């Protein structure tokens, strides 16, 4: 995915009444937290936020422009109404760009294992791995090709391809998927 940008304005009013007024005007109340825990209240256009939120992952670095100043942020949390699917509030997190961060990343798999094509059963052991990287090096997704896994074999963390600037903290011998023999 290309560079993702979002415009925001600072806001001073807080509380239910101010949030309802923002939502009625087509905006979302939001907060951006920096690496030292300080928070700044924001006003984000609801339509623009929804376009971005529906197409990115929690590890996509977004350029958030607040009153003309650019910040590299992640979407940390989104509160939404489950009945109307309308976003009620958003939290952004701005990590320090010069320090590594530790994240848990969900794994996605591509390809049908050779062992499954021969009648075996695919077993997924863990859904995510822990990584350490600078914010700009964090991948949006980790997609692993498991097409070569045969019956009786396993795909471990050590079998993952290397990623530039990313250290996988999950032990190398940890099994991610395996194919067991059919009955």
pLDDT tens digits, one per residue of 68-82 = 889 999 999 999 889
Altogether, the residues listed in the chain come to a count of 183
Q: In the predicted model, is pLDDT for residue 110 greater than 80?
A: yes
152-172 pLDDT, tens per residue? 999 999 999 999 999 999 999
82-107 pLDDT, tens per residue? 998 888 999 999 998 889 999 999 99
pTM here is 0.80
Closest to 72 in 3D by CA, of 34, 105, 41: 34
Residue found by looking up tokens 């995915």 in the block: 1
Return mean pLDDT, the chain. Answer: 90
CA–CA distance, 142 with 5 (Å, rounded to integer): 22
């Amino acid at each position: 995915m290309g560079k993702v940008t979002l415009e925001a304005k600072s806001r001073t009013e807080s509380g239910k009444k101010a949030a309802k007024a923002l939502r009625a005007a087509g905006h979302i109340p939001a907060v951006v937290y920096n690496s030292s825990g300080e928070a700044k209240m924001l006003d984000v256009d609801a339509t623009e936020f929804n376009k971005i939120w529906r197409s990115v992952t929690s590890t996509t670095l977004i350029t958030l422009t607040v009153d003309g100043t650019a910040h590299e942020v992640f979407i940390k949390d989104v509160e939404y109404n489950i009945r109307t699917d309308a976003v009620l509030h958003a939290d952004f997190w701005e990590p320090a760009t010069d320090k590594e961060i530790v994240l848990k990343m969900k794994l996605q798999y591509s390809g049908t294992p050779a062992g499954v094509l021969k009648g075996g059963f695919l077993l997924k052991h863990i859904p995510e791995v822990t990584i350490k990287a600078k914010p700009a090096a964090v991948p949006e997704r980790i997609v692993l090709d498991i097409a070569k896994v045969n019956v009786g074999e396993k795909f471990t963390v050590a079998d993952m391809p290397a990623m530039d600037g990313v250290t996988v903290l999950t032990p190398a011998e940890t099994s991610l998927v395996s194919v067991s023999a059919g009955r």
